[in-house]
Amino acid sequence: MSNTNSPNGFQYYGRLEGGSPTEGLTRQFISSGDTNALGYGDPVVRLSSGYVQAQTTSASGINGIFYGCTYVSSVLGRTVWQNYWAGAGGATGDVTVYICDDPDAQFVVQSDNTAISFGNIGMNVATVLGTPNSTTQFSTAAIGQSTVSTTNTLPFRIVGQLSQTAPPGMNGTDNTSAFNRVIVAPNNWDRKNLTGI
């Protein structure tokens, strides 16, 4: 059965076997004036200002994966929790965001078109950026088979295919057709490449 094209970003899958106990979400901040929308499962990058924002360059290293935010709503006058940041104001002050930046985390993600093959396991890959779905509040990011290479600056490493662990017939498990889903791990992330203080 062919896969359906329905990217929903980077969904947490688990941790690498034997990984250090650093799982959990890290609190970061985005500026209340940031106009870049973030959906659940979107990659984020750290800015020189100390804030984070949605990844805007697909092959760049990232800081982690966005899984929600809290802020004081300028409309409601109280703190709200959302899986989504619309990037269109509505916050009084900075926005607290929660990201997974665990260097031992693994994520399930869809290929953007051409299937990721078994032979691609162990290779690195770039993000295919998308616009978050404001209805579902999910990311629409994916990864690009055309970017699979040994380039060490790419943000993700392919560590498996979803078909190896998911029930047959589940969307994304047909590795002979486009839009299959794979398991990726951090490659070139802030906490993965510690080069100094």
Locate tokens 């092959």: which residue?
Answer: 59
- What single-letter amino acid sits at 70? T
* Mean per-residue pLDDT, 121-134: 95
Residue pair 114/143 in contact by the 8 Å Cβ criterion: no
The domains of the chain are located at 11-16+103-186, 26-100
**36-58 residue pLDDT tens:** 999 999 999 999 999 999 998 88
Nearest to 62 by CA among 44, 42, 37, 47: 44
Over 80: is that where the pLDDT of 196 sits? no
Give CA–CA dist 141/18, Å, rounded. Answer: 28
Nearest to 178 by CA among 112, 115, 108, 109: 115
pLDDT at 192: 66
Q: What is the mean pLDDT of the chain?
A: 90
Q: How far is CA 159 from the centre of its chain?
A: 15
Rounded to an integer, what distance in angstroms lies between the CA atom of residue 185 and that of residue 160? 9
Confidence band (pLDDT; 50, 70, 90) for 130? very high
Residue 180 has φ and ψ, to the nearest 5°, of -70, 165
The strands making up 11-15's β-sheet, listed across from edge to edge, are 11-15, 105-110, 181-186, 156-161, 124-125
Q: What would the mean pLDDT of 103-114 be, rounded to a whole number? A: 94
Residue 193, pLDDT > 80, answer: no
**Average pLDDT for 157-177:** 93
Instruction: Give percent of the chain above pLDDT 90.
Output: 69
Q: Which residue type is seen at 100?
A: C
**Top-confidence residue, 193 or 1:** 1
- Residue 64 pLDDT grade (very low, low, confident, very high; cuts 50, 70, 90): very high
pTM of the model: 0.90
* Conformation bin of residue 48: beta by default, left when phi > 0, alpha when psi is -120 to 50: alpha
The whole-angstrom separation of Cα 50 and Cα 31 is 10
